[in-house]
């Protein structure tokens, strides 16, 4: 099948590459000229484990191409995916300017029946708006379909190739057939393609992300309470996660969720609720709790240094909003950096993949180290922000040789608190009765 993917970011590039991998001819369109040039030269613009191999193979075999021209990209396409940004507007609602802008441009370019697919996370009713924009200046028949994406950055390729489910909101049988054929290779192991009405598909994506954000936040609140009552959130996690009704995933306490999806999607769902006269109380609380959770360790650090952080050297492990990605959007690290630098601390950070992006955002507000041990040189304390695997079993002797103070603030509960105390570390983590 000939497919166009408009917007070649984390979602668009994975989508386009994985559809090419199953034998489709894919053209990815992006307005970012430098990005398109890079991809045309075979350079992958994001870090996503496992993507590079597929990217290179499909370019080499001529199934994956890139262009900045919407007209050229969609010329022969049977299906056009919109994988465009939907950032939060000032009032928290999803800003649809990218989606509707492209929809408007598409109208006159469509020359035959085409399925237009909303892959972006969009408010309920967006498909109708897309349809109206295209129809305003279009002479052929087309369908608009909602196909929300559930991939996780860091595991995106596997999530896309082996999805738990594919959700498709459609109005016509033709659109259902086209989408069913496209996704058939991805659900051979029996995972379902769930066809539904478009509004339910649009709401499903927000419901999924809001539920997961709520689960994380609930556990963070349990952690905060555990600190007050002298309990250990890790024990509680095991105690409840083994209940099959609850499950182990998304129960790790820490310094809050970040990323380009959870924060904005929770806010957008709150706004959708508000616009529809529904006060979604839990969601508002989730945003509020998560916001304060991101800087939860700041008062503890300040207190440790007697209320004065001026000139204190803080080493930071982790910048990306989670491991296995270079994405730093809404990363808790950014919030901690702001607080610490404002209080006069001097930060040197290391992240396996997140440093180039953070440099673009905050430049020399902090210093950067080449590896996880160099960052500790002369530091007064280590602050762990992202749970990269490489931080899980460090050489503790090396840590001590570089940072004799042995002070660690761990925002991701990577180590056994008792063992750290045995090793002589002044170790603070989340929710283990040590707040
Ligand atoms: P992104 O910012 O990484 O990528 C968007 C791309 O669109 C960029 O490359 C940008 O240059 C391009 N673009 C902007 N305007 C354009 C235009 N007019 N024409 C062509 N290209 C244009 O965004 P993303 O993280 O891939 O997210 C895209 C959508 O998918 C969002 O709605 C997001 O909420 C949703 N989503 C994201 C994830 C995720 O993990 N990142 C997961 C599921 C869903």
Inside any domain, residue 212: no
Last residue within a domain, chosen from 150, 179, 196? 196
Helix axes 126-135, 198-229, angle to 10 degrees: 140
What is the reported pLDDT for 214? 98
Residues 47 and 192 placed together within one structural domain of the fold: yes
- Which ligand 1 atom sits closest to the C-alpha of 260? 41
Distance 225 CA to ligand 1 centre (A): 37
Residue 57 — very low, low, confident or very high, per pLDDT cuts 50/70/90? very high
Residue 204 included in any domain = no
With vertex at residue 195, the alpha carbon angle to CA 190 and CA 201, rounded to the nearest 5 degrees, is: 120
- Is 215 within a domain? no
Ligand 1 in contact with 85 (CB < 6 A)? yes
**Catalytic residue among 18, 28, 261, 429, which?**
261
In sequence order, what are the beta bridge partners of 427? 408
Domain limit, last residue, from 178, 196, 214: 196
Q: Do 161 and 235 reside in the same domain of the chain?
A: no
Q: In what order do the strands lie in the sheet with 2-6?
A: 64-67, 25-29, 2-6, 79-82, 114-118, 142-146, 166-169, 193-196
Ligand 1 within 6 A of 118 CB?
no
Nearest to 339 by CA among 387, 290, 300, 382: 300
Per-residue pLDDT reduced to its tens digit, 131-167? 999 999 999 999 999 999 999 999 999 999 999 999 9
In a domain? residue 68: yes
Mean pLDDT in residue range 71-96: 96
On whether residue 434 sits in a domain, the answer given is yes
pLDDT in tens, 315-360: 999 999 999 999 999 999 999 999 999 999 999 999 999 999 999 9
**Averaged over 190-205, what is the pLDDT?**
97
Residues 162, 44 share a domain: yes
Residues 291 and 188 in one domain: no
Is 115 in the same domain as 256?
no
pTM of the model: 0.94
**Ligand 1 centroid to residue 350 C-alpha, Å:** 26
Report whether residue 93 contacts ligand 1, using a CB cutoff of 6 Å.
Answer: no
Beta carbons of 342 and 374 less than 8 angstroms apart: no
29 lines ligand 1 (CB under 6 A): yes
Is the C-beta atom of 396 inside 6 A of ligand 1?
A: no
Residues 407 and 270 in one domain: yes
- Both 431 and 351 in a single domain? yes
| pLDDT at residue 154, as a whole number | 94
Number of domains in the chain: 2
Q: Which atom of ligand 1 is nearest to the CA of 6?
A: 20
186 is a domain residue: yes
Q: Is residue 125 part of a domain?
A: yes
Which CATH number does the domain housing residue 428 bear?
Answer: 3.40.50.720
Residue 22 has pLDDT above 90, yes or no: yes
- Pick from 336, 293, 428, 323: which is nearest to 386 by CA? 323
Query: Per the structure block, which two tokens stand in for 322?
Result: 């989670």
Q: Tokens for 255? A: 């310094």
Tokens of 150: 């559930």
Look over the chain and give the mean of its residue pLDDT values, rounded to a whole number.
97
Confidence of residue 435 (pLDDT cuts 50, 70, 90): very low
Q: What's the mean pLDDT in 359-364?
A: 96
Same domain, residue pair 47 and 128: yes
**C-beta separation of 102 from 82 below 8 A:** yes
What is the domain extent for residue 172? 2-196
Establish whether 18 is a catalytic residue.
no
> Are 257 and 359 part of one and the same domain?
yes
Residue 252, pLDDT > 50, answer yes
Same domain, 160 and 241: no
pLDDT-based confidence at residue 249 (cuts at 50, 70, 90): very high
pLDDT surpassing 80 at residue 433: no
Decide: residue 89, CB within 10 A, 0-12 exposed, 13-18 middle, 19+ buried.
middle
Percent of the chain whose predicted confidence (pLDDT) is above 90: 98
Considering the domain architecture, whether residues 167 and 261 belong to the same structural domain is answered as no
Q: Residues of the chain with pLDDT > 70: what percent?
A: 100
* Residue 49: inside a domain: yes
- Last residue in a domain, options 177, 196, 215: 196
Q: Are residues 342 and 388 in the same domain?
A: yes
């Amino acid at each position: 099948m000939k497919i166009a993917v408009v917007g070649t970011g984390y979602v668009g590039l994975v989508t386009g590459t994985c559809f090419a991998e199953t034998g489709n001819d894919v053209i990815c369109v992006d307005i970012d000229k430098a990005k398109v040039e890079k991809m045309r030269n075979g350079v992958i613009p994001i870090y996503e484990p496992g993507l590079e191999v597929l990217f290179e193979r499909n370019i080499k075999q001529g199934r994956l191409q890139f262009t900045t021209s919407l007209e050229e990209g969609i010329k022969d396409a049977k299906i056009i995916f919109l994988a465009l940004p939907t950032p939060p507007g000032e009032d928290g609602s999803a800003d649809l300017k990218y989606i509707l802008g492209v929809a408007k441009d598409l109208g006159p370019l469509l020359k035959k029946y085409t399925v237009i697919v909303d892959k972006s996370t969009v408010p309920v009713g967006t498909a109708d708006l897309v349809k109206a924009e295209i129809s305003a200046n279009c002479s052929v028949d087309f369908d608009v379909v909602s196909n929300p994406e559930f991939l996780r950055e860091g595991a995106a390729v596997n999530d896309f190739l082996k999805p738990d489910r594919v959700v498709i909101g459609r109005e016509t049988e033709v659109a259902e057939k086209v989408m069913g054929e496209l996704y058939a290779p991805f659900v051979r192991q029996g995972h379902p393609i769930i066809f539904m009405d478009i509004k339910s598909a649009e709401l499903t994506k927000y419901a999924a992300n809001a539920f997961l954000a709520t689960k994380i936040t609930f556990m963070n609140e349990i952690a905060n309470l555990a600190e007050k009552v002298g309990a250990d959130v890790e024990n509680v996690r095991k105690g409840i996660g083994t209940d099959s009704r609850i499950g182990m995933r998304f129960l790790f306490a820490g310094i809050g969720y970040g990323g380009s999806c959870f924060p904005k999607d929770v806010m957008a769902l709150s706004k959708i609720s508000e616009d529809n006269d529904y006060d979604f109380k839990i969601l508002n609380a989730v945003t509020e709790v998560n916001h304060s959770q991101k800087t939860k360790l700041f008062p503890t650090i300040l207190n440790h240094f007697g209320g004065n952080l001026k000139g204190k050297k803080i080493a930071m492990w982790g910048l990306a909003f989670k491991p296995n990605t270079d994405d730093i959007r809404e990363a808790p690290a950014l919030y901690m950096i702001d607080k610490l630098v404002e209080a006069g601390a001097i930060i040197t950070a290391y992240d396996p993949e997140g440093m180039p992006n953070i440099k673009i955002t905050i430049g020399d507000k902090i210093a950067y180290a080449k590896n996880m041990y160099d960052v500790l040189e002369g530091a007064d304390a280590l602050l762990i922000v992202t749970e990269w695997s490489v931080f899980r079993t460090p050489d503790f002797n090396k840590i001590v040789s570089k940072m004799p103070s042995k002070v660690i603030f761990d925002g991701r509960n990577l180590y056994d608190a008792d063992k750290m105390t045995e090793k002589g570390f002044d170790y603070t983590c989340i929710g283990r009765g040590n707040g």
